[in-house]
Amino acid sequence: MTPTVQAILTDLIRAESVTPDAGPAIDALCGHLAPAGFTIERPVFSEPNTPDVENLFAAVGTGERHLVLAGHVDVVPTGPASAWRHPPFSAAVEDGVLYGRGAVDMKGGLAAMTAAALRFVERRGPHFGGRISFLVTGDEEGPALNGTVKLLDWAVERGERFTASIVGEPTSARELGDQVKVGRRGSYSLTLTVEGRQGHAAYPHLADNPVRGLTQILQALLAAPLDNGTDRFEPSTFEIVGLDTGNAAWNVIPGNAWARINSRYNDKWTRETLRTEIERRIREAIAGDSPTRANQPIRWRVDEEPGNADAFVTRDDALVSTLSEAITAVTGRQPELSTGGGTSDARFIKNFCPVVEFGPVGQTMHQVDERVPVAELEETARIYETFLDAFFPA
């Protein structure tokens, strides 16, 4: 008999797996998949100056039609455990609601996917005319360098070819099934550095304060919107998320100043065209005389951060409609097709096959007392199972 969604999620939450320590949660997941006939492979990937990360590729069935069920077992830190109603890794249930770090993001969706796949294979057997794989990482909440992006290449090098993918992220906004992600905005992170000359704060004429130049550039970058949106996306955003000089002294003019910047951008842009626009605005801001710098040239550079990815929209109508119909069949709701919100590992999967995202209600993700109703978990599993039946017709 297949385990319940609650039982699977309980095992996953009790297996503490704060990024990048994915091993315990992968152990728990394999404990459910292996007995059902899934082949298990657990590649570990590395990158300089980052921790090694263990990942999971588990598959069952043969045939050209191949569905990838994707997700992550790593979770963000809990904060003070004393602030939680129940211990954050206890998976305690109160009034039909299961509490724990990862209950929503995204061990809940992964548990529902697992239960659905196990039930499907139990009913149909391992020879259902296709292939189901779990592509699971421990590096989604971290740098995202040693997870899905490398696991996809690893699988393809071994001959895997993918027809479509569902990522079990918590996409529902207020009620289960009210929203499906059919695309994501791009995410572009960079560090803008302005170089100056360190000196004594009492003798500014002997120094070159980089904060003045950085401020001048940032004002120009924020002066006008990037765009007004497109037919499938909201307007692109441009946010300063960090400022620093590395200087703690009150009497020292710093030698360098830098800003950390993130843009969430729509399909009007690519990483290349967005960087070109940013650099154009910088050059325009510092062209000619600079009254704040006594005509000294502003020395600057832009360094891209890892993990940047372009916006995308999944235009596979059959995939989107099959998932939407499964949601409607179980919940009675017609989901909104959305491209809003943050980013996810779907940004890597879209390079290999059409991908959509669907999972539980995400209102408590990353919060103290993260939680999910057990009934909602079961309903989510039924949606996935209904989708599997339609994707692999008997």
Backbone angles phi, psi at 143, to 5 degrees: -65, -20
Using CB atoms within 10 Å of the CB of residue 40, give its burial: 0 to 12 exposed, 13 to 18 middle, 19+ buried. Answer: middle
Any binding-site annotation on 244?
no
Is 336 part of the annotated catalytic residue set?
no
Output the DSSP codes for 295-308.
TPPPEEEEEEPTT-
Any binding-site annotation on 366?
yes
Q: Which residue has the tokens 């289960």?
A: 176
Is 74 part of the annotated catalytic residue set?
yes
Backbone angles phi, psi at 383, to 5 degrees: -65, -45
Of 11, 54, 140, 370, catalytic: 140
Any binding-site annotation on 169?
yes
Any binding-site annotation on 47?
no
CB atoms within 10 A of CB 303: 10
Report the distance separating Cα 268 and Cα 263, nearest Å.
13
For the chain, what percentages of helix, strand and coil (3-state, to nearest 5) are there? 30, 25, 45
Report the distance separating Cα 173 and Cα 68, nearest Å.
24
Any binding-site annotation on 72?
yes
Q: Which helix (H) or strand (E) holds 385?
A: helix 374-391
Of 54, 74, 208, 370, catalytic: 74
CB atoms within 10 A of CB 66: 19
Residue 58 one-letter amino acid: A
Q: Which helix (H) or strand (E) holds 200?
A: strand 199-200
- Binding residues, as ranges, are 72, 105, 141, 169, 366
Catalytic center residues:
74, 140
- Binding residues for Zn(2+), as ranges, are 72, 105, 141, 169, 366
